[in-house]
Amino acid sequence: MSENTLLSIKPIPVRERLIFALDVPTPEEALALVDQLGESIIFYKLGMQLFMTEGYFGLVEELKRRGKKIFVDLKFFDVPETVKNAVANLSKRGVECCTVHGSQAILEGAVAAKGSMKLLAVTVLTSLDRGDLDDLGFQCDVEELVYSRAKRALAIGCDGVISSGLEASRLREGLGDKLIIITPGIRPVENRPVDDQKRTVTISEAFQCGADYVVVGRPIRQAADPRAKAEELQGEIARVFGV
């Protein structure tokens, strides 16, 4: 195992640390990709694109039937009571975790309704950079904003956060091992930056900075052989954790 003290010590099976972003237009295409990936992926993230189809929850049930784990990434953001009720309904679906975004009252409502489901607060989207935050009126340092939001979320009762790998080390050092850190925006060195993800890191960098899980989408989905690419990344993760 790496000597890096920020490497996650949570008892997570190594092959479950890679979450695949199942961002395709239809449930049929999603299942075809799941078939193609086979046992190379255990944990799937389902976001808004598939949510806007008729088969979202049917897909959730099918993935569960196949023994997969599910991360519902819908970034709930509405009046607190509405978010609370949405989270309460989702908590009955048997998914592992979901995302929520917003004020203290919104997070408090979600925490009250999450049951055994893990609740993950969004800090700052990895598609935003310093210029975007200036446009939105945030004058503080990005790292400070992420840390402040993560600290508040943990105090409220959230289980973890979604955070760029660029800020993960500050979160791990300042907030300890209890916090779950999921890092999206993972890009191989040769692919940075080529798309709408701006604050990116590699898989090794993310874990060495304290991430518990990484989310990878396009580098796998757009590969000539998605399963081979997923297995390549699984091998990289195994090497980081010395297994």
Could you give the residue numbers annotated as active site? 75
What does the alpha-carbon distance between residue 231 and residue 238 come to, in Å, rounded to a whole number? 10
Q: Are 62 and 84 in contact (CB under 8 A)?
A: no
What does the alpha-carbon distance between residue 187 and residue 28 come to, in Å, rounded to a whole number? 26
What does the alpha-carbon distance between residue 86 and residue 109 come to, in Å, rounded to a whole number? 10
* C-alpha distance across the termini of the chain, in Å: 7
* 11: preceding bond cis by omega (within 30 degrees): no
Place of tokens 């953001």: 77
